[in-house]
Amino acid sequence: MAGVILVLNAGSSSIKFETFELREGELTSQASGQVDGIGTDRPHLRAKSADGAVLADEALTAEQASSVDAAQDVLGAFFRRHETVDLLAVGHRVVHGGLRFARPIRVDEAAIEAMAELTPLAPLHQPHSLAPMRSILRRRPDLPQVACFDTAFHRGHGDIADRFALPEWLYADGVRRYGFHGLSYAYIASRLPALSPRLANGKTVVAHLGSGCSMCALDGCRSVDSTMGFTALDGLPMGTRPGQLDAGVVLYLIREKGMAADAVERLLYHECGLKGLSGVSNDVRALTESDDPRARLALDYFCTRAAMAVAELAAFMGGLDGLVFTAGIGEHSAFVRAGVARRLAWLGAELAADANERGDGLVSSPDSRIEIRVIPTDEELMIARHTVDLLGLR
């Protein structure tokens, strides 16, 4: 079967997309891009082909991208202009699958409502993932849609990794450690056998470092633990989220500062992390270039906590064969990679400085006891694969 799989990753003010041609069972990227600035006065459409050619770089009017629905009209017109009309299906990234969704599912009204019930667990992400599903279901009810969950890859965790030290009734009610960024980790796990049999068969920590950050312990390419827990607030410090936090801080904000739950939520999701620590930016590139001592504090804090997380996951697995950096910061910041590796020297981690500066695939030195790699992630390809497999399109 030949045709196109469209992958959508919707955020609060953007819709990222990628199209894949399916031919003879193989998926090939055609184009990718995004509509950003949705709901603002300066929306923009950007798109490029797989070979890097610019397909679109258009400033839009506020009316053209006033909502997700309106932005989808813009994308539809773009696809028609570029003859991407033979759509077979649409695959979506969904951050939280809760207890119910442990694998990709076919989207219908009932599934959307069930996913919507999980919004309190991922308020920053879940509503935006569901908006395009509703819009497409209304406009093209005949077009198959598939939801792929970031939590699904971690659902095989044992009790020690899965639980908080809370009463059983809360665990039964779904208060447990789910883990996130599973689509990214699944992609890295799929690449390891070809890139490094040692890491594929051994104990590897994958560091997904981007605007959102987490790490995953892979034992034989299977997720056994993760730094993220019940929501996407846990674990590592992130761009605007604090990561691991004493729950007493939340009680203090409510009781002593009189903050309402919505205000606390806004603080923890939008004003903390690198942004809160530095007072400068949530962007590692800006922090690296800044002379402000608070920027250096934020970077040192980030690298230290990242190294501590690697050591914690290594202790959980009982050893460490390799460390993989991925996502925006992990793939592009030689400064952060060096900062993390330096703090893991006691475990035998040693970078090859030139390879790290270039961002080579293998950045550990020959003397390093830990193999350190940089592997670009591809969540969109994983979503396309899941979509094709679920619908039996191969």
For residues 372 and 358, give the distance between their C-alpha atoms in angstroms, rounded to a whole number: 14
Q: Which two tokens stand for residue 362?
A: 């293998």
Q: Is residue 165 part of a domain?
A: no
127 closest CA partner among 143, 109, 106, 113 = 113
Domain shared by 273 and 356, yes or no: yes
**Residues with Cβ < 8 Å from 75, sequence gap 6 or more?**
15, 17, 35, 45
Decide if 196 is inside a domain: yes
The residues near 138 (Cβ < 8 Å, ≥ 6 apart) are none
My answer on whether 255 and 326 are in the same domain is yes
Q: Is 150 a catalytic residue?
A: yes
- Residue 273 in any domain: the answer is yes
Within-domain flag for 138: yes
**Token couple for 19:** 């199209």
Q: Count up the domains in the chain and report the number.
A: 2
Among residues 74, 70, 73, the alpha carbon closest in space to that of 59 is found at: 74
Shared domain for 222 and 120, answered yes or no, is no
Confidence at residue 255, expressed as pLDDT on a 0 to 100 scale: 97
Q: Is residue 243 part of a domain?
A: yes
Shared domain check, 104 and 216: no
Looking at the structure, tell me whether residues 275 and 135 fall in a common domain: no
Domain finish residue from 149, 173, 205: 149
Residues 351 and 302 in one domain: yes
Rounded to two decimals, what is the model's pTM? 0.91
Which one-letter amino acid corresponds to residue 348?
G
Tell me the sheet residues that pair with 15: 10, 35
Q: Is the residue at 344 inside a domain?
A: yes
Beta strands 14-23 and 3-10, pairing class: antiparallel
232 and 93 belong to one structural domain: no
Tell me which of 36, 150, 234, 321 is the catalytic residue: 150
Structural domain containing residue 294? 182-374
- Whether residue 194 sits in one domain with residue 136: no
User: CA–CA separation, 29 vs 90, rounded Å?
Assistant: 14
Same domain, 241 and 115: no
| Residue 174 lies inside a defined structural domain of this protein | no
CATH number at residue 364: 3.30.420.40
Q: Indicate if 313 and 203 belong to the same structural domain.
A: yes
Per-residue model confidence as pLDDT tens for the chain (394 residues) = 578 999 998 766 678 899 999 988 899 999 899 888 777 778 889 999 888 898 888 888 888 888 777 887 888 888 778 765 688 999 999 999 999 999 999 999 999 999 999 998 888 789 888 988 998 999 899 999 999 999 999 999 999 999 999 999 999 999 999 999 999 999 999 999 999 999 999 999 999 999 899 999 999 999 999 999 999 899 999 999 999 999 999 999 999 999 999 999 999 999 999 999 999 899 999 999 999 999 999 999 999 999 999 999 999 999 999 999 999 999 999 999 999 999 999 999 999 999 999 999 999 999 999 999 999 999 999 999 999 999 998 7
What per-residue string of b and e applies to 23-45 under the rule 16 or more CB within 10 Å gives b?
Answer: eeeebebbbbbbbbbbeeeebbb
Tell which of 95, 126, 149 closes a domain: 149
Please state the φ and ψ torsions of residue 288, each to the nearest 5 degrees. Answer: -65, -35
Last residue of a domain, one of 99, 132, 149: 149
pLDDT of residue 9: 86
Domain-embedded: residue 381: no
The reply to whether 135 and 215 lie within a common domain is: no
Asked if residue 278 and residue 208 are part of one domain, the reply reads yes
